[in-house]
A and B are shown apart, each in its own frame.
Chain A
Amino acid sequence: MSNKSNNSPLTKKKTMRPVTKQNLITYVMVIVVFTVLQTLSATGNLKFAHKALLVPVCTSIIMAVSLNLVVGVLGELSLGHAGFMCVGAYAGSFFSVLTEDVITADWLRFTLAFIIAAVCASVAGILIGIPVLRLKGDYLAIVTLAFGEIIKTIVNALYIGKDGEGFHIALDSTNLNMATDGQIILKGPQGITGTPKDSSFVVGFILIMITLFIVTNLMDSRTGRAIMSIRDNRIAAESVGIDITKYKLMVFTISAAIAGCAGVLYSHNISTLTATTSNFGYNMSILVLVYVVLGGLGNIRGSIISATILYALPELLRGFSEYRMLIYAIILIVMMIVNNGTYFVKLKEKVSVKFSSKMKKTAKEVN
């Protein structure tokens, strides 16, 4: 197999493309970590407190990857990502509580909950997308921030119940006018109680893999190139016939749908779902943004790693009691400096060069 044409880019298909290779590394990393943790947990080698972290970590990873699509790939700053998660969480929980007696197969109900949440969140994504896509940079950030708060406020004010006549929606529990056989599902600030606990580490893992599949394949396709061209130079992208509005809206929608799924994973892991600042508010949006920025804009693997470390860290630091957040902050700053420091960047390049040359060697030997 040593004819000359092997070197020309046209016949390069035989060796793996760099993008495919990078994605493969990400998949393998996720699968290996999952297998190790799952084995540890199954054999009882994982403390209960650590076991409880598994699903929330999956939620953070999915949130980070989906936000990276907006911030890193499209290049628009969004501060309302938790709002989409909130929509998904409430839609999913509402559906699950409503149909718990009707659909007895857990997996079917849970799958439907994911689909419904994804649809609801993507509708929210389109609704927020249409007016705000005229905005750029800081202005977009402010509007998305407001959106996140609006969603949180709405679900905190809303009462929805169901009785023999159908659904009742009100902004006050006394105005619901429910029949005596009715059941109030969404109770304003008290949220939704009794969501079936369907989430598990396995479901979280599957959802991460699906998210990875969608996001990495999207990035490495015609659509992904169009999106990245908008990020790199909007005017040039328009000049080669890229429909900016269409692709921005598409990214917002896809990202919102994935965040909605993360919300379902979250809400089916806790018994009482309420919307607070720390889970669906500004704090959460910023936290996810921190994962994305620290992991590297447009770098999906980086998002996964930083979301895992930064989510687990405060919990693992519990031994330090009141100094916990102080140490967390210091680690955050150190990570930021080291990650972008010249030495570490050079080291990363070196490793990747070594790694790719090794891969090439093995590929040649295989040939």
Chain B
Amino acid sequence: MALLEVKNLGITFGGLKAVDNFSLTLEKGALYGLIGPNGAGKTTVFNLLTGVYKPTTGTFLLDGKELKGKKPAEINKAGIARTFQNIRLFKNLSVLDNVKVGLHNQMKYSTVTGIFRLPSFFKTEKMMNEKALELLKVFELDKNADTLASNLPYGKQRKLEIARAIATNPKLLLLDEPAAGMNPNETKELMDTIKFVRDHFDLTVLVIEHDMSLVSGICEEITVLNFGTELAKGKTDVVLQNPEVVKAYLGQ
């Protein structure tokens, strides 16, 4: 069974069809790309899949479980985690605490335990610290663990967002323009990191990206969106040669 099944997903904003009839099937372990010109509806697809918007039509299933209409927090608990195009970190928390918020539903103790400092508080906090640092190490952020998230340089902030998303132990990871604002070297590093986390954490990755070197470098298959509808779909190198796709990007 496919991990993610999106069936005819669509949403209308006051008569405007932002996304229309979007379908997608992702097998477990896939690294899939979603590309398209600005305003094509890529981020809207992510917002639909994470419950930020409620779809007007269609539905989607993760591991055979229907998630349409669920709240963002429930969808995350079901196994979909995401990053944001415009970085959304917890700015006044430390880098370590950002990841620990991600671990919120993975390692638990009650509020009362926290207030009265019962033994399981110290045990769980220690486990959380270890797990969070282990994750930060993957993204080479462990040296910055005590820094405030807002004080991190841009590239590291993007990495921290990914680390925080992975901390929620997802099955499916949605990355919204992870390479935005990165130089070619950083992008290359990021590509290795994405591949590494997919294998290491047993993830399926859906990525929105404008950087074609990243898309052709790591995505096995892609979907091209234009004006909210699917323009082309298939093997990355084939789709990128498609004249329709070239036209959508470069104009006639």
| B contact patch SS | helix
Say yes or no: A240 contacts B76, CB within 8 Å. yes
B111: chain A residues within 8 A (beta carbon): 218, 221-223, 250
Q: Is A244 an interface position by the 8 A CB rule? A: yes
With contacts A225-B100, A239-B76, A242-B73 known, is A218 near B167, CB below 8 A? no
Say yes or no: B102 contacts A9, CB within 8 Å. no
Closest to B164 in A: A240
In-complex Cβ contact of A232 among B82, B93, B129, B133 (8 A): B93
Q: Is B182 an interface position by the 8 A CB rule? A: no
Say yes or no: B88 contacts A233, CB within 8 Å. yes
Q: Is A214 an interface position by the 8 A CB rule? A: yes
A238: chain B residues within 8 A (beta carbon): 71-73, 76
Interface residues in B, total, Cβ within 8 A: 46
Please encode chain B, from 44 to 65, with 1 for each CB lying within 8 Å of some chain A CB and 0 for all others. 0000001010000000000000
B93: chain A residues within 8 A (beta carbon): 225, 228-229, 232
With contacts A10-B130, A222-B104, A225-B104 known, is A239 near B90, CB below 8 A? no
Q: Is A235 an interface position by the 8 A CB rule? A: yes
With contacts A221-B111, A224-B114, A235-B52 known, is A241 near B77, CB below 8 A? yes
Q: Is B165 an interface position by the 8 A CB rule? A: yes
Stretch in B115-123, B191-199, B213-221, B243-251 with 4+ CB within 8 Å of A: B115-123
Say yes or no: B115 contacts A233, CB within 8 Å. no
With both chains docked as a complex, state the minimum distance between the C-beta of A357 and any C-beta of chain B, in angstroms: 15
With contacts A233-B89, A239-B82, A242-B104 known, is A217 near B114, CB below 8 A? yes
Please encode chain B, from 161 to 196, with 1 for each CB lying within 8 Å of some chain A CB and 0 for all others. 000110110000000000000000000000000000
In-complex Cβ contact of B90 among A18, A213, A236, A244 (8 A): A236
In-complex Cβ contact of B76 among A233, A241, A244 (8 A): A241
Please encode chain B, from 88 to 130, with 1 for each CB lying within 8 Å of some chain A CB and 0 for all others. 1111110011001110110111010011110001001110111
With contacts A222-B104, A223-B114, A242-B104 known, is A236 near B88, CB below 8 A? yes
A229: chain B residues within 8 A (beta carbon): 90, 93, 101
Q: Is A237 an interface position by the 8 A CB rule? A: yes
B108: chain A residues within 8 A (beta carbon): 222
B133: chain A residues within 8 A (beta carbon): 9-10
Q: Is A243 an interface position by the 8 A CB rule? A: yes
A160: chain B residues within 8 A (beta carbon): none
Q: How far is the CA of A237 from the CA of B97 in the complex (A)?
A: 12
With both chains docked as a complex, state the minimum distance between the C-beta of A213 and any C-beta of chain B, in angstroms: 8
Q: Is A226 an interface position by the 8 A CB rule? A: yes
Please encode chain A, from 237 to 260, with 1 for each CB lying within 8 Å of some chain B CB and 0 for all others. 111111110000010000000000
Closest to B74 in A: A241
A13: chain B residues within 8 A (beta carbon): 126
Say yes or no: B90 contacts A237, CB within 8 Å. yes
Q: Is B146 an interface position by the 8 A CB rule? A: yes
With contacts A10-B133, A218-B115 known, is A239 near B142, CB below 8 A? no
Q: How far is the CA of A26 from the CA of B117 in the complex (A)?
A: 18
Closest to A9 in B: B145
Interface residues in A, total, Cβ within 8 A: 31
Say yes or no: B71 contacts A240, CB within 8 Å. no
Say yes or no: A217 contacts B115, CB within 8 Å. yes
A298: chain B residues within 8 A (beta carbon): 92
Closest to B98 in A: A229
Say yes or no: A236 contacts B84, CB within 8 Å. yes
Q: How far is the CA of A231 from the CA of B92 in the complex (A)?
A: 9
Say yes or no: A239 contacts B50, CB within 8 Å. yes
Q: Is B240 an interface position by the 8 A CB rule? A: no
Q: Which residues of B (120-161) have their CB < 8 Å from a CB of A?
A: 121, 124-126, 128-130, 133, 142, 145-146
Select the residue from A13, A18, A241, A250 with max chain B CB neighbours within 10 A.
A241
Say yes or no: A232 contacts B104, CB within 8 Å. no
In-complex Cβ contact of A9 among B104, B142, B167 (8 A): B142
Q: Is B206 an interface position by the 8 A CB rule? A: no
Closest to B83 in A: A239
Q: Is B81 an interface position by the 8 A CB rule? A: yes
With contacts A9-B133, A9-B146, A242-B73 known, is A235 near B88, CB below 8 A? yes
Q: How far is the CA of A221 from the CA of B118 in the complex (A)?
A: 12
With both chains docked as a complex, state the minimum distance between the C-beta of B89 and any C-beta of chain A, in angstroms: 7
Say yes or no: B76 contacts A226, CB within 8 Å. no
Say yes or no: B101 contacts A242, CB within 8 Å. yes
Say yes or no: B100 contacts A217, CB within 8 Å. no
Given contacts A233-B91, A241-B168, 15 further A-B contacts (CB under 8 A): A10-B129, A222-B104, A222-B124, A223-B114, A231-B92, A232-B89, A235-B88, A238-B71, A239-B81, A239-B84, A239-B88, A240-B164, A241-B104, A250-B111, A298-B92
Q: Which 4 A-B pairs have the closest CB atoms?
A: A221-B114, A241-B76, A236-B88, A238-B72
